[in-house]
């Protein structure tokens, strides 16, 4: 699979000719609505076996081989080169396809308004084949330990038809958001815990859940050990029922990190107790904050490298956003929230406003600015093929268990093409 960034003057036909594929294949892989009107800076995935590399000034075959995890001998053989040949700048080298890596992939899916939209249903049907788990969000815990279920529609049938496991997401959410008081009740009242675990087991049996995923957020520091004890209790009961257990963890970079989102999440103990964790490595750029990349690779790496000091890599799913944000400028704290948009919509906005897409090399994320019809300035940060490939490369480099997407329903076809191209997705046994 090749990633190509559109330059000025290029067309779908010239790009197809460059890589010896048909224009229609590029259109289908990228779900291009206006293939005759590409955006400068837009990243396209090119469906092909392996990829091409165009020699840059100062390149050597050894450096190119290192870059693509291959050998000089293999590059010489597949490209029919003479040993010791000096390659001119711009020379096209064919790079063979790397063997696929194993990957566990989860995706949350969040019905809103008490029902499942046709878009969500279609998204689940289209993507379940590339998922290990499908995770309806969420079962809300009530103060007495009973559960308020999300609308499930035909998600269980979709999961079964694709040999995809179901993840039961259990939260301390209320209509006002994550509740520290509800969290306190759950983690300190033994009777509530027993009722909750009874209800979880009954629901898991009825629906067919394989993993029970606790996403308890905004817990005060003093509840950290109570959370650990609850997880030990839950692990004992759920394992006896043949169920896996996992947790969602805020993106920490040290055990002492302060803040209401972080303090009760004990990476080391969660890593010892549960079967795996999801690191919520996104929302550096968030709807109520200043414009920036949602999941900048430097910040993501810092969180993962800390996590690896507390737990083994085979227990870590890297959290990944499937969305971006459109901020209205100037940003004012407490002012207008940014609008969440899909990567496909971001490209449409750039095209509609005739602006090119830039790329931040430090954050490894695309962005652009535009002026709307009413004269307001905007700044947009989103994900594209380049940024998601950086996350995939990090997962491979650090040998992580896999990836967890927040959330289905937003169009990002390049992600799924690259995921399918680079990984063998683990499936239910």
Looking at the predicted structure, is the pLDDT value of residue 97 above 70? Answer: yes
Place 180 in a pLDDT band, splitting at 50, 70 and 90. Answer: very high
Residues in the chain: 429
Q: Report the pLDDT value the prediction gives residue 86, as an integer from 0 to 100.
A: 86
Asked whether 324 and 341 are in contact (CB, 8 A), the reply is yes
Q: Report the pLDDT value the prediction gives residue 414, as an integer from 0 to 100.
A: 98
- Give the model confidence (pLDDT) of 212-256 as tens digits: 999 999 999 999 999 999 999 999 999 999 999 999 999 999 999
**Average pLDDT, stretch 195-205?**
98
Place 98 in a pLDDT band, splitting at 50, 70 and 90. Answer: confident
Task: State both tokens at 8.
Answer: 């000025």
Q: Report the pLDDT value the prediction gives residue 290, as an integer from 0 to 100.
A: 97
Residue ranges of domains in the chain, CATH in brackets? 2-95 (3.10.350.10), 101-425 (3.20.20.80)
Asked whether 346 and 324 are in contact (CB, 8 A), the reply is yes
- Name the strand (E) or helix (H) holding 32: none
Q: Report the pLDDT value the prediction gives residue 429, as an integer from 0 to 100.
A: 66
Looking at the predicted structure, is the pLDDT value of residue 260 above 90? Answer: no
Q: Which residues are catalytic?
A: 217
- Give the model confidence (pLDDT) of 127-174 as tens digits: 999 999 999 999 999 999 999 999 999 999 999 999 999 999 999 999
Task: State both tokens at 166.
Answer: 């179901």
**Average pLDDT, stretch 59-76?**
92
- Give the model confidence (pLDDT) of 315-368 as tens digits: 999 999 999 999 999 999 999 999 999 999 999 999 999 999 999 999 999 999
Place 84 in a pLDDT band, splitting at 50, 70 and 90. Answer: confident
Q: Report the pLDDT value the prediction gives residue 319, as an integer from 0 to 100.
A: 98
**Average pLDDT, stretch 12-16?**
97
Q: What is the pLDDT of the chain when averaged over all its residues? A: 96
Cα gap 57→182, rounded to integer Å = 60
- Give the model confidence (pLDDT) of 291-311 as tens digits: 999 999 999 999 999 999 999
Q: Report the pLDDT value the prediction gives residue 259, as an integer from 0 to 100.
A: 87
Please give the model's pTM, rounded to 2 decimal places.
0.95
Asked whether 286 and 247 are in contact (CB, 8 A), the reply is no
Q: Report the pLDDT value the prediction gives residue 55, as an integer from 0 to 100.
A: 95
């Amino acid at each position: 699979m090749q990633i190509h960034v559109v330059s000025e003057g290029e067309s779908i036909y010239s790009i197809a000719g460059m890589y010896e594929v048909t224009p229609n294949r590029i259109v289908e892989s990228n779900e291009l609505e206006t293939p005759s009107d590409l955006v400068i800076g837009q990243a396209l995935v090119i469906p092909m076996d392996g990829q091409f590399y165009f020699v840059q000034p100062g390149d050597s075959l050894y450096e190119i081989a290192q870059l693509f995890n291959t050998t000089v001998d293999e590059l010489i053989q597949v490209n029919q080169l003479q040993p010791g040949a000096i390659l001119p700048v711009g020379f096209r080298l064919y790079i063979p396809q790397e063997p696929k890596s194993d990957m566990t992939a989860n995706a949350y899916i969040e019905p809103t308004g008490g029902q499942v939209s046709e878009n969500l249903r279609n998204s689940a049907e289209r993507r379940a084949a590339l998922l290990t788990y499908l995770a309806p969000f969420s079962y809300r815990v009530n103060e007495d330990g009973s559960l308020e279920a999300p609308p499930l529609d035909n998600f269980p049938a979709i999961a079964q038809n694709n040999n995809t496991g179901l993840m039961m997401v259990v939260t301390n959410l209320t209509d006002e958001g994550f509740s520290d008081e509800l969290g306190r009740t759950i983690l300190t009242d033994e009777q509530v815990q027993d009722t909750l675990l009874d209800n979880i087991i009954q629901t898991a049996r009825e629906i067919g859940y394989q993993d029970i995923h606790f996403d308890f957020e905004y817990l005060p520091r003093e509840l950290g050990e109570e959370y650990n004890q609850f997880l030990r209790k839950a692990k004992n009961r759920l394992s006896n029922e043949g169920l896996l257990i996992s947790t969602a963890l805020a993106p920490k970079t040290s055990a002492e990190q302060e803040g209401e989102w972080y303090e009760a999440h004990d990476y080391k103990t969660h890593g010892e107790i549960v079967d795996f964790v999801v690191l919520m490595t996104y929302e550096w750029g968030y709807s109520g904050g200043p414009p920036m990349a949602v999941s900048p690779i430097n910040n993501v790496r810092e969180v993962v490298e800390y996590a690896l000091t507390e737990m083994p890599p085979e227990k870590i799913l890297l959290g990944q956003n499937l969305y971006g944000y459109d901020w209205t400028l100037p940003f004012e704290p407490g002012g207008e929230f940014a609008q969440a948009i899909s990567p496909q919509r971001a490209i449409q906005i750039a095209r509609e406003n005739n602006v090119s897409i830039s790329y931040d090399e430090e954050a490894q994320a695309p962005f652009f600015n535009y002026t709307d019809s009413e004269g307001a300035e905007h700044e947009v940060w989103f994900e594209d093929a380049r940024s998601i490939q950086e996350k995939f490369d990090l997962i491979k480099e650090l040998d992580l268990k896999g990836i967890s997407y927040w959330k289905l329903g937003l169009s990002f076809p390049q992600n799924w093409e690259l995921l399918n191209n680079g990984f063998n997705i683990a499936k239910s046994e």
